[in-house]
C-alpha cells in the first residue's frame, strides 16, 4: 500500500522517530517470540496473548502485551502490520507529534482488544487468543483517512494496483471489520480492527475528549501540548484559525479548500464544529 500524493511534503520535516522505533520493536519481539517457540518450546501465548479467560483471571496486562505478539513463525502477519505503520503511522506522528502518536496507537490497541473480548460473549463467537498490532495500525489508518478524506491511496489487490480516495478506503475497512465482527467467517480478529478504527474516527470528531484522556493517562498534571503545525492541525479544537486580513488567499487555500473538498465528498453535515467556524470566518473575510 502506498500514498499516491506527495504534496504533503514540507520544508520543515519532523522525522517520525517513534514510529520507526516501534517498527523495530515489533520485528525484534517477533524474532524473540519465534525463537522461544522453536527452541525453548515456551508457550508465550498462554500468558501474553489476549483472551477472555486471561482477563477474567486478572491478566489485564494482556491488553498491552498482545499488541507486540504476532503469528509465528511465518513473518507475513508482522510484516503487513509494519507496512501499515510505515505508510500511515509516520504521517500521523509527523502531524500530531510523537506523544500523541504512541498514545493513540496503544489506546487503539486497548479499545480494539476490549471490543474483541466483549464479542466472545456473543453466541458462536469463540474465545481464541488474539495477537497482533492490527488494532493499533487500524487506529492510525482511521486517523489518517479521517483527516485526509480526499487523499488518494494506491492499494494492491491480487497484484493489480487500484487508486482510491482515503474516505472510501476507510468505509471499506469499516464495513469489512463490522461484518467480520458480527459474523466471524475466518480466524481474523475483526472486532479488534473495528475497535481501532472507531477510536481513530472518534478522536478526529471528539478531539477535546480524547485529549483529556490522553493527558490524564500520560501527564495527569500538565496542560495539553499544542500540536505542531501541519495539515492535520486544523482538526484540533484548541487551534484558532488565522484570520489575518493581509493573507486571505493563504488562509483560503490552507484552511477552506480542504473543507470544501470534504463537503463535496461527505456532505455539509459531516463537518465538525471547528470546520464550521472556519467557514464562517472565511465568509466574513470575503465580505
101 within a domain of the structure (yes/no): yes
- Give the pLDDT confidence of 269-278 residue by residue, as tens digits: 667 777 777 8
Please tell me whether residues 163 and 261 are part of one structural domain. no
Please tell me whether residues 87 and 19 are part of one structural domain. yes
Which burial class, exposed, middle or buried, applies to 34 when counting CB atoms under 10 A from its CB (0-12, 13-18, 19+)?
Answer: middle
Domains in the chain, number: 2
Please tell me whether residues 280 and 172 are part of one structural domain. no
Phi, psi of 119 (to 5 degrees): -65, -20
The whole domain housing 163 covers 2-218
- Give the pLDDT confidence of 121-179 residue by residue, as tens digits: 999 998 999 999 999 999 999 999 999 999 999 887 777 788 999 999 999 999 999 99
Cell of 121: 460473549
pLDDT, position 114:
97
Q: Give the CATH number, domain containing residue 59.
A: 1.20.1540.10
CA distance 285 to 175: 40
Q: Give the relative orientation of helices 207-218 and 190-205 as an angle to the nearest 10 degrees.
A: 110
Amino acid at each position: 500500500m502506498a500514498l499516491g500524493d506527495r504534496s504533503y511534503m514540507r520544508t520543515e520535516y519532523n522525522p517520525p522517530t517513534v514510529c520507526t522505533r516501534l517498527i523495530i520493536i515489533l520485528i525484534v519481539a517477533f524474532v524473540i517470540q519465534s525463537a522461544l517457540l522453536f527452541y525453548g518450546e515456551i508457550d508465550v501465548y498462554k500468558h501474553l496473548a489476549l483472551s477472555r479467560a486471561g482477563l477474567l483471571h486478572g491478566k489485564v496486562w494482556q491488553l498491552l502485551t498482545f499488541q507486540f505478539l504476532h503469528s509465528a513463525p511465518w513473518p507475513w502477519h508482522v510484516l503487513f502490520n509494519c507496512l501499515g505503520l510505515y505508510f500511515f503511522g509516520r504521517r500521523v506522528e509527523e502531524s500530531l507529534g510523537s506523544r500523541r502518536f504512541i498514545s493513540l496507537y496503544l489506546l487503539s490497541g486497548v479499545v480494539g482488544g476490549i471490543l474483541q473480548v466483549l464479542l466472545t460473549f456473543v453466541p458462536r463467537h469463540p474465545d481464541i487468543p488474539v495477537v497482533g498490532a492490527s488494532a493499533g495500525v487500524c487506529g492510525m489508518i482511521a486517523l489518517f483517512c479521517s483527516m485526509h478524506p480526499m487523499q488518494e491511496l494506491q492499494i494492491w489487490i491480487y497484484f493489480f494496483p487500484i487508486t482510491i480516495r482515503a474516505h472510501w478506503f476507510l468505509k471499506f475497512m469499516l464495513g469489512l471489520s463490522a461484518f467480520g465482527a458480527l459474523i466471524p467467517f475466518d480466524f481474523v480478529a475483526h472486532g479488534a480492527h473495528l475497535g481501532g478504527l472507531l477510536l481513530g474516527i472518534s478522536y478526529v470528531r471528539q478531539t477535546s475528549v480524547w485529549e483529556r484522556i490522553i493527558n490524564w493517562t500520560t501527564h495527569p498534571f500538565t496542560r495539553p501540548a499544542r500540536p505542531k503545525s501541519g495539515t492535520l492541525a486544523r482538526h484540533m479544537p484548541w487551534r484558532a484559525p488565522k484570520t489575518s486580513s493581509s493573507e486571505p488567499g493563504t488562509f483560503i487555500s490552507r484552511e477552506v479548500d480542504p473543507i470544501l473538498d470534504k463537503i463535496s465528498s461527505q456532505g455539509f453535515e459531516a463537518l465538525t464544529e471547528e470546520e464550521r467556524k472556519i467557514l464562517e470566518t472565511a465568509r466574513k473575510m470575503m465580505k
